[in-house]
Structure 1
Amino acid sequence: MEADNEAAVRDRLTAQGLVVNNVKKKPMELRLPTIGSGVALKDLVVFTRTFSTMVDAGLPLVQCLDMLSSQAENPRFGEMLGKIKAEVETGKSLSEAMGLYPKVFDDLFRNLVAAGEAGGILDLIFRRMATYLEKSAKLRRQVKGALVYPVAIIVVGLLVMVIMMTFVLPTFEDMFKDLGAGSLPGPTRIVLAISHFITGHFLLLTIVGIALGVGFSAAIKTPQGLLIFDTIKLKLPVIGNVVRKGSVARFTRTLGTLLASGVPILDAMDIVAKTSGNVVIQNGILYAREKVAEGKDIASPLLETGIFPPMVVQMIGVGEQTGAMDDMLQKIADFYEEEVDAAVAAMSAMLEPLILVFLGVGVGGMLIAMYLPIFDVAGGIK
């Protein structure tokens, strides 16, 4: 708790109905700089779970925030909660106070809290948010792992081959000269030519590689570049299937959570579009939102986009007709999260042997090419 002195702390705690035995001044802390918001998803999940339990137990809102700010494992997050508590004490709503930190409490979070405040179901909203965050984190890990794993293995394999060509192969070449090997076999000459090119143009190749990386990073920060990149991600063989199913699961889970919490459909679709994580999906959702604003149902424009599978759209249509769209969306999300599990497992089972073959042919081929002259020399001695 922040206050001018220890007496002020005692007075504030006593006013909240608490018995104060001891007040200790918190020592100064040396804090390392943080990246972005400095708050991990784990911190947010623990906060939402604990907050819902406290509110459900009947504790006042300010007291909940006070206790959570002082008990937070992340000092930066604790400081944020302390400032939010101070804003609430001035008369602001919790959702408004959370607007101080939009990187931590995004539009989705704040709109759900606002709906909970309006309906008097803040504890229920926070339980839903905790469940949503946990499932979203799991889904994000799965999709990210599916994309990162094969790329990481291939990059490591290429680095191994570059290191071999830069440092190992020149040693073999010197050894061939010492052995008096005559005309080298074709595979050996090709490998040595590549090695000479890399060592002779190492600085240039490094600069080109860095330039390509910087150029790619800059390109995907532009609207058109990001659109192209996200389109390619959805159309990639195997990996695109995982990304698409993950996007469907995220869309249905987020929209279902918002609608179940009482957020109006148009506002909910706005928020879902912003949190979709893919520009192509975002554009499709915004197109559907425009049609809904014109008085159309949600299923037809979603089908027109060609992004969402027909089965998903049909189930959303059924939910819309029966008045149980939030439940239907949650069921679709559960199904597609399981589909992502299965797709990731299938992709790993298919890509792992292909990657091993790629590495085996690359590294093994170089080794064979370098040992061929040694075999020739040994055969000549016999």
Structure 2
Amino acid sequence: MATLHKTPKRVVMHRWHWRGKNLRGETVSGELVAADATEVRKELARQKIIVKRVTRKTGLFGLGRIRSRDVTLFARQMATMIRAGIPLLQACRVVAETLKNPAMRNLVENLANDISAGASFSEALSRHPARFDRMFIAMVAAGEQAGALDRMLERIASYREKIETLKGRIRKALYYPTAVIAVGIGVTALLLIKVVPQFESLFASFGADLPAFTRMTIHLSELAQAYWWQAILAMIAAGFLLKHLASRSDTFAYRLHALLLRLPVLGNIVDKGSIARFSRTLATTFSAGIPLVEALETATGATGNRVHQRALTNIREDVGNGQQLNFAMRRTRVFPIMAVQMVSIGEEAGELETMLDKVAEFYEEEVDNQVDALTSLLEPLIIVVLGVLVGGLVTSMYLPIFQMGSAI
């Protein structure tokens, strides 16, 4: 008879604050990570502590979320500790005590437990692939082998800080136009739904024909009042549908990312940002002694764009077959000529990682300049768009009043 295997239930860990008395009658307190209060009481009973109170410090959904900057801070702190001569296990314990994020603190404590059980630092990290990517683990392993773990962790932290700064600039470039459009739609909808109906009741008492512009505004107001919630639901549904299709269909996601690259101004920013991330990641991993083919595999996931990811997959295959990196990049027709030429110079001079760093710096600066230019361009555009929308609606509502005044 076949045995049915049940899917294990996910255990949500919380941080608990406890207070009690020890065997000498002294009041003691502290914190523990456990699934429930019963586990906390059992652990304290094992330590001969009489529990007075146990309260949960974290929220309903567990210890919270680990952000990218938490991992970056962890790498920076570990590099500092190891450089100061503190043993790895003790460094993990000290860093865990300084972290304010309960989820990250719990993660570091788990790493410390794995290390105390005999695992290397890279092995402990590899048991948490959702938190530490392949590049992080590979560079830590290389640092352990070379006896330069502190320098590798410092390099990882610097790399992650630069990538996060770049991502923040690109997000700003994408969110700013979205915010402009959202503000324009919101103000227009508010006027059509709340303000125009007040004028409509006033115009009904005039008993005269209204100007065409006013009639059009009133018609739009009636549509907005009747279907505003359907419009909101349609936009939300469209957003979820796009996200679902992008996650399920590689072809759809590829076309969506290709369309994003073709957008004026924004597409250029996303394209250069993706190239900068690829160059920075490849330079960091290759300089750590990781083979080029493996470094390319790591860099493929760092671009954040399906068009560049597909191109890098082809590049990795070509390089694995013995072709030079610059020739493989040129074949894809995705990377700019300047980037390809700089990579070619780096390969010929034996300074590939240095030239890749220069490529990353150049395109990061380009992204910064274009984001600043876009921001400067959109600021007056916001005023113009809102002025036209609001001014047009207000003018259409006051036209009948002006006509009546001139007739009198």
Give me the TM-score of the superposition, normalised by structure 2. Answer: 0.84
* 1:84 equivalent in alignment to 2:111: yes
Say which of 293, 298, 306 aligns to 1:279. Answer: 306
Which of structure 1's runs of 4+ aligned residues deviate more than 4 A?
33-37
* 1:39 equivalent in alignment to 2:59: no
Say which of 139, 153, 159 aligns to 1:126. Answer: 153
1:81–1:293 Cα change, 3 Å: same
Contact 1:49 1:130 in 2 (8 A): yes
Trace 1:247-258 onto structure 2 (pairs within 5 A): 247-258=274-285
Number of corresponding residues: 359
Deviation track 1:70-89 (CA, whole Å, cap 9, x = no partner) reads: 22111211111111111112
Q: Write the distance in 2 (CA, Å) between the matches of 1:29 and 1:71.
A: 20
Say which of 374, 386, 390 aligns to 1:359. Answer: 386
Contact 1:273 1:286 in 2 (8 A): yes
Deviation at 1:225, TM superposition (A): 2.0
Say which of 159, 177, 184 aligns to 2:210. Answer: 184
Letter in 2 for 1:337: E
Say which of 164, 170, 195 aligns to 1:143. Answer: 170
Secondary structure (helix, strand or coil) at the match of 1:105 reads coil
Contact 2:125 2:137 in 1 (8 A): yes
Contact 1:188 1:372 in 2 (8 A): yes
Trace 1:293-312 onto structure 2 (pairs within 5 A): 293-312=320-339
Say which of 337, 341, 349 aligns to 1:314. Answer: 341
Secondary structure (helix, strand or coil) at the match of 2:343 reads helix
Say which of 122, 131, 134 aligns to 1:104. Answer: 131
Deviation at 1:24, TM superposition (A): 6.0
Q: Write the distance in 1 (CA, Å) between the matches of 2:319 and 2:165.
A: 31
- If asked which structure has higher relative contact order (CA below 8 Å, sep 6+), I would say 1
Q: Write the distance in 2 (CA, Å) between the matches of 1:260 and 1:181.
A: 81
Trace 1:17-28 onto structure 2 (pairs within 5 A): 25-26=30-31
Deviation track 1:262-303 (CA, whole Å, cap 9, x = no partner) reads: 111111111111121111111111110000001000111111
Contact 2:76 2:153 in 1 (8 A): yes
Alignment gaps of 5+ in structure 1? 1-22
Q: Write the distance in 2 (CA, Å) between the matches of 1:33 and 1:339.
A: 44
Report which of the two has the higher share of strand. 2
Q: Write the distance in 1 (CA, Å) between the matches of 2:304 and 2:91.
A: 32
Partner of 2:97: 70
Say which of 355, 365, 370 aligns to 1:328. Answer: 355
* 1:237 equivalent in alignment to 2:242: no
Partner of 2:47: none
Report which of the two has the higher share of helix. 1
Deviation track 1:50-89 (CA, whole Å, cap 9, x = no partner) reads: 2111111221111111111122111211111111111112
Partner of 1:14: none
Alignment gaps of 5+ in structure 2? 1-27, 33-54
* 1:53 equivalent in alignment to 2:74: no
Q: Write the distance in 2 (CA, Å) between the matches of 1:95 and 1:141.
A: 29
1:261–1:24 Cα change, 3 Å: farther
Contact 1:37 1:103 in 2 (8 A): no
Say which of 201, 204, 208 aligns to 2:234. Answer: 208
Contact 1:153 1:355 in 2 (8 A): yes
CA-atom RMSD in angstroms? 1.9
Contact 1:249 1:337 in 2 (8 A): yes
Trace 1:144-159 onto structure 2 (pairs within 5 A): 144-159=171-186
Report sequence identity in percent.
36
Give me the TM-score of the superposition, normalised by structure 1. Answer: 0.89
1:282–1:104 Cα change, 3 Å: same
Q: Write the distance in 2 (CA, Å) between the matches of 1:328 and 1:198.
A: 56
